[in-house]
Structure 1
């Protein structure tokens, strides 16, 4: 029996748009803090806020558009998001002061939240039912690739070109994603075999899936730890004089994720989440510890590999757990809930950590966070780990 086709024109287009959107996000997140300090003499806390407020904007965008996307139309929502995304990207060229940069980052994040929610919803719609898990897995790999290429380009360009050139490249990526989306076909909801019931009124259950909250909270904690890497690795590299090696940090991070994820995915299905999550907590914690004592490029990159094996696989595993714990008709909300908590951890983390950094070195910060991640293993155990076996039996 022939499998329904997965790699259709529309699947490739949606994955490509998601890749470009995520690429710009990760490209900017590793350089924007240093840019704020250099251009506007921002404090460390302000630099953290400039970094994190984008993700807070993404969170707002997801919450606002999540319950309205089907009323507006999925493709129309994507176009609205992409057009506004291009407009807000162009705002980086208007260099007034730190407050205007914060507004730009917030609005840019909101547009990403709208556009990426649309791509995630559309891809789930166009993937054949019998290949849903496989298709979403491949789709998510577009974001994984972007986590490698984006920071690599950002850190490399920050050494050899101006911030304006980086903004121009981001604008080109945004325009290209908008142009690509014109060739996308999205079936109307009336054409779909199943139409989900909509709960009337303003209720928390319309925005959040309660069953996904425990594992999503674990995700928030580990994402808070990872936000320190995303936001401050460039500052830390300058502090320890390893800027050249740091430009390859996210490249080795993503190579570790790409090579390990097929194995950890099969392990998750065969043995259960605990077999992936507990080793991942340890690897993430060890990676942060190595980062804290890194005094050469090799140690810095080894930390990147371990953090990729740890956090990179925890991210995909917790998303799978969130989806598995919920009924099929609530799968979209479970995914949304997962990303809301992930975005909150990545978004608020840099701002909160920005208040702590003035009292210690970046190395000490990473050392403390390695202990926090190790202790959060207990949090996972109580919120999900001890129940994981019975979930496997019930599936």
Structure 2
């Protein structure tokens, strides 16, 4: 691990704290919107969040390549802190969903800047492994945040949970102060930088990775919506139970698969990842016991541990050096679109009953199969990884 710089570890720590911050509250939001009288809008909790994150990506990508990686991250931290401290003031479903929409802008900015910065400092022959370590910070934040959400709520209540979440965001911002800017000659911000051209929205070279990201991230959208409710159906007190076992399995596999994709190829590694993802969706969807639910979480962690660092390494391979912010933004747009598709699909397949769970997860299994077929097609008919 000594091969990674202090800059790398500082940005990983900041990302870990940031991811923990906004994931801390997710397990309790289904109950929160139910109390407000909006049980039928559970799917919108994640959908609106990812929608605004996707909208913000072209702006964060361009700003990361102009005003700097750090400044872009600070925008995300500021938005996250303000919105989190406003949650306790929610008195209606509309106000709550409005906050969820604005909260998504935070994840549209900080991870984009962080990914561009990490891409700058990782050598090409270590990107798979390095992105595995970087992705571990993300997974650890998701798992720790979601697992601790329910216990903290039991101790200090929902308002206390929101305050702790906001404080973690502030600490993440303080960590960014120790990070060295990697963009050469950053510009001073001006309103004109917010004018986005078509070429600044999507980096065409990374579209193949983006297609796979959309298809596989759909499964994550379904998991985010249903895992808290499934914990209740199966008599599990902690609504973050799923993500505790998810993070244990995904951390180990991420560090290993980074080396595998460096050696055997990104697309070849993704074939295995998509197969495991399909299996995990079937296990979780048809779980009728805590044991099978836990096994499903572990297998899902293995799948994302294979797919996520491999996709980000593939993106880094395909990205022109002067458009790394836009390239990172492109892949994150794909991530959010996929999560949004998955979360939105639950509005039509999930009836807030245990009986409707299997059909919902079958949708996710279907998307993972489509991702697998696309990779096989791409590998056979596209010798160059950039051709889509």
Name the TM-score, length of structure 1 as normaliser: 0.85
Equivalent residue pairs, number: 378
Q: 2:21 aligns with which of 21, 24, 42?
A: 24
Match of 1:325 among 318, 328, 334: 318
Aligned match of 1:6: 4
Hey, what's the Cα distance between the residues in 2 that align with 1:316 and 1:184?
A: 22
Residue from 331, 344, 351 that aligns with 1:351:
344
Cα deviation code 1:23-78 (max 9, x no counterpart) = 123223332123211x212133x111022211222222222222234544443333
Per the alignment, residue 245 of structure 2 pairs with 252
From the superposition, tell whether residues 371 and 276 of structure 1 become closer, same or farther in structure 2 (CA, over 3 Å). same
Whether the 8 Å CA contact 1:124–1:132 is kept in 2: the answer is no
Higher Rg of the two aligned structures: 1
Structure 2: where are the runs of 5+ without partners? Answer: 187-192
SS of corresponding position for 2:287:
coil
Q: Does 1:224 align with 2:218?
A: yes
8 Å CA contact 1:240–1:295 kept in 2: the answer is: yes
CA RMSD of aligned residues (A): 3.1
Q: Give the stretch that moved more between structures: 297-306 or 340-349.
A: 340-349
Q: Aligned partners of 1:261, 1:84: CA distance in 2, in Å? A: 30
Q: Deviations over 1:268-298 (max 9, x none)?
A: 2222234422222222112111112212211
1:68 aligns with 2:63: yes
CA offsets 1:72-125 (integer angstroms, 9 cap, x no match): 444333334323321111111111211111111111111332233233333444
| Selected match of 1:163 from 158, 165, 181 | 158
Structure 2 length-normalised TM: 0.86
The answer on whether the counterparts of 1:85 and 1:174 sit within 8 Å (CA) in structure 2 is yes
Moved more, 202-211 or 215-224: 202-211
- Show the counterpart of 1:40: 36
Give yes or no for the alignment of 1:364 onto 2:362. no
Determine the structure 1 residue equivalent to 2:272.
Answer: 279
Measured in 2, the distance between the counterparts of 1:73 and 1:331 equals: 12
Deviation at 1:237, TM superposition (A): 1.9
How far residue 4 of structure 1 moved from its aligned partner, in angstroms, is 9.6
Check the 8 A contact 1:26/1:147 in 2, yes or no. yes
SS at match of 1:189: coil
Q: Would you say the 8 A contact 2:58–2:202 is kept in 1?
A: no
What's 2:189 paired with? Answer: none
Q: Distance between the aligned counterparts of 1:263 and 1:217, measured in 2?
A: 24
Structure 1 pair 391–159 and aligned structure 2 pair: CA distance change class (3 A): farther
Query: Quick one: structure 1 residues 261 and 128, their matched pair in 2 at CA, closer, same or farther if it must change by over 3 Å?
Result: closer
Task: Quote the offset at 1:228 in angstroms.
Answer: 0.8
